[in-house]
Amino acid sequence: MSIIEEKIIQTGFILPQLAAAAGLYSPAIRSGNLVYTSGQLPLLDGKLVEPGGKGVVNEERKEDAVYASRVALLNALAAIKSVTGTLDSIERIVKLTLYVASEQGFSNQHLVANGASSLLHEIFGERGSHARSAVGVAALPLNASLEIELIAQCKFPVI
């Protein structure tokens, strides 16, 4: 088990198995020393976590969405691992983008994103410091509450 996966366990989570792509795309792609993930939903054991399936986030569901952002983040890390072989290869998290299916008038997408951002800091320390966008949208695939994309700078062996 990698050092980073041990840190994930210390936070009370586990790194999930990579979910199968739900379309004609790759869960993650390497370009140079960067790994870009496709959008990752808050799926746990193949099911959307709350407030998933309810479609939109509002003030009442905000804390559930914070938890869902952490689940989606772990799915993004699993996608990165599928390209790198180990999360220990991550030198820095470069960018996190969070899309939140938002009820009209909800403007706390940044607070939902804090759930994923804080978990990155717990797991990676300073290497988890990142640029970020938090965007409210009308709807997401499968009626998910949110979707996360990551860009990570990784080290790869010289061939």
Tokens 């952490």, located at residue: 70
Contact 68, 146 (CB under 8 A): yes
Task: Count the helix, strand and coil residues of the chain and give each as a percent rounded to the nearest 5.
Answer: 40, 25, 35
Contact 19, 44 (CB under 8 A): no
Amino acid found at 38:
S
The reported pTM is 0.95
Q: What is the pLDDT of residue 52?
A: 56
Q: Which of 88, 79, 67 shows the shortest CA–CA distance to 30?
A: 79
* In the chain, domain spans: 3-15+23-154
Q: Would you call 14 exposed, middle or buried from its count of C-beta atoms within 10 A (0-12, 13-18, 19+)?
A: exposed
| Paired residues of 102 in beta bridges | 57
> Consecutive sets of 10 residues in the chain, 159 residues long: mean pLDDT of each?
95 93 92 97 90 79 96 98 96 98 97 98 98 97 95 85
Contact 62, 108 (CB under 8 A): yes
SS3 at position 26: coil
From residue 82, alpha-carbon distances to 16, 39, 56 in Å are: 11, 15, 30
Q: Which two structure tokens, joined as six digits, stand for 134?
A: 């938090």
Architecture of the 3-15+23-154 domain = 2-Layer Sandwich (3.30)
Contact 109, 102 (CB under 8 A): yes
